[in-house]
Structure 1
């Protein structure tokens, strides 16, 4: 028996598909009643187990193809698992494909009644709810127009407004809400938050890590059809970013670098090299000094792609000199989503030292940064140049968009604008005798 607080219980759920290289193999297998197997097995899900309790939001994150959508379709009974079972206690509404069953030629109002009937609600119930649905959708006179004339955002408004008034025990939500404008998204999440506080369970699949951090109570990371990690939102988001596109963080290429007069053995993480190869911006320079890798890590060397305002981070830049260089500095530049440079600095600006490098020498440049930026997405350009701080400096290697960092929304806002400046405040009150007195008439 399920606990009264338990809404969903999945136990060893797996889903297998048969993959055929061409249609003839499918026909041969069918004609021989399976005696000549011509398919390959593909497990979209393997041994998935989890629980969802009342008033809980379970987040599911993972790269495309990880198995998230397959699980949601099984939960919604659009698919059946190959093995395992899912127990559900209460009514479930799926927002996987908002507007399923809507007829493009019918008006928004007619589609509300038609879809409501398909979902099992009679006309009397819908008549009682119609004002709430229309007020939530905020479509005005467009509610009387065919839905084929709607924008994608208007379509989502109409569909979600219908689902929002069904009051289920369990909601399944995917990326559909990302289509609406920001004000409608805020309205939807406020509504879901109210439902959650009243005991509704929510399963949320999204690529929006800010939503995961703010809204979810527990998070599952999917990879290749399996749950590879589970835990708190903060831990799982950091772990998901650190996994990157290569799975767990890998290390390769042990090299020698020069640290003052001391040579040390260090390791260049494979992900740091991949960040360079996947850089989205322009690369320029004569490559006398070539940039090999870049990473953003915490002070205890854990790779991260997300941080909070005020976190202390470390930017590691790896490079090799292809010839002797007598005048060298390493630098970085941070740009926001509006392509505005919010900060830039190099090692010469920090310590007024001109670095040197000999041919074939590999170096690791490290910047410890107090990341006092407002929430948002930022890209880092990295560079190896001479020490001329003007725009005309000689560029050995410069890479735009080398790595991405997301600054999460702080719990309490402490400043306005893009950057937080180190500020100290003091107030002095004058003694009563020195207060300015009003002039006599």
Structure 2
């Protein structure tokens, strides 16, 4: 029992010594700060002694008595208002397969911390702190709820800065790159317009402690900002509902919304114009002779396989969604037109062969009955066939002639309806 009492006494003395040393450190830092203030006041009223305390001693005195784990208005039970501003230097990599986008931005946050006020205490209006000292100053816990991955830039030094003004105004800037999720509706792809949002929210502090608001000029872009496959129609900042709700209070949330319209130039060159040419090539078989079976078969199969390959390459980078996209409608229609041209030749060839089989059957029967065929064979068609086969050829050629008109007209009607529904109607939807 005496040994246990002695051990408890030793532990109590150690804790008491730690508390005394911590209190002494804060008292010393407070005394140094009061001493610097007293020197500044004396120098303010003595014209012959305008010298103010060194900035290094003043900064050290402030940081020694400063607690970076407590918000500025913690004792007053008031929220700290933080203004946020974004300058986007690059906006790229809008990926449909993963439904996200990437950007690089300079995030600026401003707030007022009364503990850092130093009116006329030193010969400077504000202090520029190195990135190594940022962890000693309280900064808001801003994060991006819809962010997938992100990182700070640190070449050649960490791209972060902190300015402390004499009225306690703190300006914190950090350069970051992030990839954020963007749910997309691809029903009108590639004539679609997408709305991608970037959310900014406090991670641990509710609105009782931190409130985020947009600055007067909240959003700006770099001079050479170019999007590869999109053009930005508009961008606007909003306040939003928090993504996380707790009983203690809601979290402050900000949102910036980008409206992006897809550029059609790439898709016109790589998809639409080549597919139109492939469909038109399939119509060449209508001008070939009915007897040119190898040529018409080769042309039909080649165009069908080409359209199938192009359709596969057009949707390779798209997610496997359950609804039908505009590009699916286009490629399916082109494939149907090409396949219909191949079926048209098959039908024409069947008509010709069926008539030829009937003639051969009649000839065989006449030969068996020893019927003279000289009068029948005397009249021939222009291509050298007997007249009784000319009726099948005439029907086949009439079908080819009708197909030369019906197929192009039908395809032109489809193209007109397609662009009216998916392109022009989409523009009206965006404007509304």
TM bracket, shorter-chain basis: under 0.3
- Going by fraction, where is strand more abundant, 1 or 2? 1
Q: TM-score, normalised by structure 2?
A: 0.23
